[in-house]
Amino acid sequence: MVPVLVLLLAACQGCASCYTPNLGQNNSQQSNQNSSNDDGDDPSDGAGAGGGTGDLPDPPPCDVPEEEPNDARSEAQELPPERWACGFISEQGDIESFNTVAYEDGWMTVWARGAAFGSTADLQVLIEDLDDNDNKAGQSWMPGSTDALLTVPVDAGTEWLVQVVDDQSTYSDSHEWQLIATIDKPPVEWDFSENENAGNNAIWSGLPLEDGDVVYGTLERNDQDFWTFDVPEGRTVVDVRVHAWNFGSPADTRVTLYRPDETVERSKSTGETSYDRDPLIGRTIYDAGTWALKVDLAGAGGSPLYWYTVEFGLETTAPDTGAADAG
């Protein structure tokens, strides 16, 4: 489901009705009372609407409606995997707290949604491993949407605190939200992972990259991950493409290219637009030798949940271009 969710979200930023989960279909309280109304009124004229149910509120539109107070972690409600919770950011500083369990190894997606049904909330979601308070992340996702989504690697049996807040600290009776946690396969693929044990915080100690490699790493607080690559004589085009934020990682990353003399060739924290937080670098370079590529965080945070991949490309053309014209 994760790739499907991501694709659906990515395909329709800002649209009003991209994904319509099966909400509330099991609520048996709905509408059966009206059958006792045998006065012959045209049922479509609406004149007697609601008359049979008195002051009863609408049935909750989800499996786990919030039960205030739920602000404190000690008040967290249980949220089973694959079930929707729902409620309202209804007062200043309102926090909605849930506990969920990763029932298998995989990647957990936590999605707080509101945009598709006209919520006025700008949602932010926060997660924290209940056994390791440093293993936490938050995100107010994504450009073009007021929803929030996190996709992070989790181990089977880990228990998580999941909280929803309004990113702007506003509230109202139209700050409605819905929340789900699911486990699925990783949203990206890679060839090999970083090796922190080899000391990749130092410039020349990172693993070597070759054309076509896709590599994976995570960014703890104050972490930096170096990789190296060899540039032959000639004209070389280097392509670096990070996948993180756009696939639900909390990591807002930055990429820096270092020349063989350790000076900076290029540093970038955005993609094709300034709103794209996944860096993209396409650069023509001429200095032969061993180069370094650094990935670190442009934004705050850092934990084992702050994952990224780098797609690396390196293409060199012959060093003697122009020689034919000389003769």
Q: Are 244 and 214 in contact (CB under 8 A)?
A: no
Please, what is the minimum distance in Å from the beta carbon of residue 313 to Ca ion? 22
| 33 vs 99 by CB, closer to Ca ion | 99
Residue 153 Cβ, how far from Ca ion at the closest point, in Å? 13
Judged by beta carbon, residue 221 or residue 283, the one nearer Ca ion is 221
Q: What b/e sequence results for 42-69 when a residue is b if at least 16 CB atoms lie within 10 Å of its CB, and e otherwise?
A: eeeeeeeeeeeeeeeeeebebbbebeee
- Determine the Cα angle at 115 with ends 299 and 303, to 5°: 25
Cβ–Cβ under 8 Å, residues 301 and 127 = no
Nearer to Ca ion, 111 or 306 (CB): 306
Q: Dig out the tokens for 274 from the structure.
A: 């300034």
Asked if 155 and 131 touch (Cβ cutoff 8 Å), the reply is no
Q: Which is nearer to Ca ion, 202 or 237 (CB)?
A: 202
Closer CB to Ca ion, 87 or 285, in the complex: 87
Position with the least CB separation from Ca ion: 225
Nearer to Ca ion, 201 or 267 (CB): 201
CB of 137 to Ca ion, least distance (A): 15
Residues that bind Ca ion (CB under 5 A): 70-71, 87, 94, 96, 200-201, 217, 223, 225
Nearest distance from C-beta of residue 212 to Ca ion, angstroms? 22
Q: Which residues have CB under 8 Å from 320's CB, separation 6+? A: none
List the one residue out of 247, 310, 243, 248 whose CA is nearest residue 278.
Answer: 243
DSSP 8-class letter at 326 = H
Query: How far apart are CB 218 and Ca ion at their closest, in Å?
Result: 5
User: Residue 317 CB, nearest distance to Ca ion (Å)?
Assistant: 33
